[in-house]
Chains A and B, each alone.
Chain A
Amino acid sequence: MQSALDPAGGDAWDLYWLTIVMTVGATVIFIFVTALLLYAIFAPPESRAWLGTRRTIVYGGLAFPIVTLSLLLPYGLVVMRNTDVPQAGALQIEAVGEQYWWRVRYPAEGEQGEFSTANELVVPIGRPIAVTVTSFDVIHSFWIPNFGGKIDMIPGRINTFNFTADRPGIYRGVCAEFCGAQHARMAFDVMALEPAAFEAWRRAQAQPAREPATPFLERGRQLFRSGGCGSCHVVRGTDADGRVGPDLTHVGSRRTIGAGQFPNNIGTLAGWIANVQHIKPGARMPSYGSLTGEDLRALAGYLESLK
């Protein structure tokens, strides 16, 4: 589960300490002022008289807030300056928010060809990452709490979010701007990998989809084709080239389906295909509830085999 209180990158640490300083400081001051207030109400008049003196007002009411805010202002500004800074040599990734999922594209880099995936962001640790974000439909907000602040995804506008992952792990990103009925079911996985593991993942993702290994999976591929799935989904290496929905070339390699809703396996894939409008009403994919059990299993099995 995502947590802004479990920083996994330098910027997230800066924001974490800012939060701690502000929260602890504000709590201490609040308790102190409340105690003074109760003292002013309930203490005997002679012992509380000092509260109304000029000296108390000048030190407590003027000097203290001015000094505190004069320290907090530059501190906050320095944190603001040092977070989300573009770095030279950053890995470029493009993310597009759509109702209600994430289109993710890795542009070509050196020998590495470009490819697209969905609902997952895989990054190497230790290397700066620059995610350029925009939206296809309404305003979304891209937020990985373990790595820093939110960045709005606005139609027709490109924003950039910069971060570096310090330690390997699986994190969770969410949509942080209400974008429609299924806003709460719009999440994504973030995998921070060792550089070598990242390179291996990236090379595998750029490959076309693998051929079905068994007749049963071949039947799944035929159903994918005859069912018209390819008019909305891409499976590179086949004639499926639709751009409406997520790229499914390597859908079987992803951790979750449905934008972070279910673990990815043949059962959840079949449930998704048959009943998407029940699971995520308003998603742009219709439910394919009329497939026979065997056909559904073949289709889900084919998708699961696309590692």
Chain B
Amino acid sequence: MSGTRTLQVLLTLGGMLAWAVQFTVVYGATSTLCARGWADATLFGLGVVPFTILTTTLAALAAAAILLVVCVRAERQSRDRPASATDRFLSHAGMLINGLSLVAILWNGVPAFILPACA
């Protein structure tokens, strides 16, 4: 696989990777902070658990949004210029996957603002 192709696949799946990282950090941090009894600490006026979830969620959303924009551009370019079927497929799939990842990341962050930190 050429370097360009590897990058294309990474762009396509990047939203899911951002979601996976967010998922791991959110669950890992919440469990650890609650189990160790550190959940009462605050950072910038927010509880440490919601703070961690909020920052991780925003970072993951930003990553997925940037990848979505990149894929939308690639998709437009592939319309104007002659492109291979594989390129067109990858950019198209990338748009969908990164768009859905945005939703999934958002859902993953919502409980932090409804449930108590260590429910």
A contact set with B: CB distance below 8 Å: 62, 66, 69-70, 73-74, 77-78, 80-81
Is there an interface contact between A77 and B107, defined as CB atoms closer than 8 Å?
no
Stretch from B1-9, B51-59, B109-117 contacting the other chain = B109-117
> Is B21 interfacial (CB-CB < 8 Å)?
no
Bound form: Cα–Cα A73–B114 in Å: 10
In the assembled complex, the CB of B64 is this many whole angstroms from the nearest CB of chain A, namely: 15
B contact set with A: CB distance below 8 Å: 100, 103, 107, 110-111, 114-116, 119
By beta carbon, the residue of chain A nearest B100 is A62
By beta carbon, the residue of chain B nearest A77 is B114
Is there an interface contact between A73 and B107, defined as CB atoms closer than 8 Å?
yes
Bound form: Cα–Cα A201–B116 in Å: 37
Please name the 3 residue pairs, one residue from A and one from B, whose CB atoms are nearest each other, closest first: A77-B114, A81-B115, A77-B111
Interface of chain A, helix or strand or loop or mixed?
Answer: helix
Bound form: Cα–Cα A108–B110 in Å: 42
Bound form: Cα–Cα A74–B100 in Å: 18
Option from B103, B110, B116, B119 in Cβ contact (under 8 Å) with A74 = B110
Bound form: Cα–Cα A117–B84 in Å: 78
Task: Return chain A residues, CB-CB under 8 Å to B100.
Answer: 62
Bound form: Cα–Cα A62–B104 in Å: 13
Task: Return chain B residues, CB-CB under 8 Å to A74.
Answer: 110, 114
By beta carbon, the residue of chain B nearest A65 is B103
Is there an interface contact between A80 and B119, defined as CB atoms closer than 8 Å?
yes
Is there an interface contact between A81 and B114, defined as CB atoms closer than 8 Å?
yes
Task: Return chain B residues, CB-CB under 8 Å to A78.
Answer: 114
Bound form: Cα–Cα A9–B103 in Å: 36
Task: Return chain B residues, CB-CB under 8 Å to A81.
Answer: 114-116, 119
Q: A73-B110, A77-B111, A77-B114 are in contact. List 15 more A-B contacts (CB 8 A).
A: A66-B103, A69-B107, A70-B103, A70-B107, A73-B107, A74-B114, A77-B110, A77-B115, A78-B114, A80-B115, A80-B119, A81-B114, A81-B115, A81-B116, A81-B119
* 15 A–B contacts from the bound complex (CB under 8 Å): A62-B100, A66-B103, A69-B107, A70-B107, A73-B107, A73-B110, A74-B110, A77-B110, A77-B111, A77-B115, A78-B114, A80-B115, A81-B114, A81-B115, A81-B119
Bound form: Cα–Cα A74–B113 in Å: 10
Task: Return chain B residues, CB-CB under 8 Å to A69.
Answer: 107
In the assembled complex, the CB of B116 is this many whole angstroms from the nearest CB of chain A, namely: 7
Task: Return chain B residues, CB-CB under 8 Å to A66.
Answer: 103
In the assembled complex, the CB of A259 is this many whole angstroms from the nearest CB of chain B, namely: 32
By beta carbon, the residue of chain A nearest B108 is A73
Bound form: Cα–Cα A46–B35 in Å: 61
In the assembled complex, the CB of A69 is this many whole angstroms from the nearest CB of chain B, namely: 7
In the assembled complex, the CB of A154 is this many whole angstroms from the nearest CB of chain B, namely: 17
Task: Return chain A residues, CB-CB under 8 Å to B111.
Answer: 77
In the assembled complex, the CB of A76 is this many whole angstroms from the nearest CB of chain B, namely: 9
Bound form: Cα–Cα A78–B115 in Å: 8
Task: Return chain A residues, CB-CB under 8 Å to B116.
Answer: 81
By beta carbon, the residue of chain B nearest A58 is B96
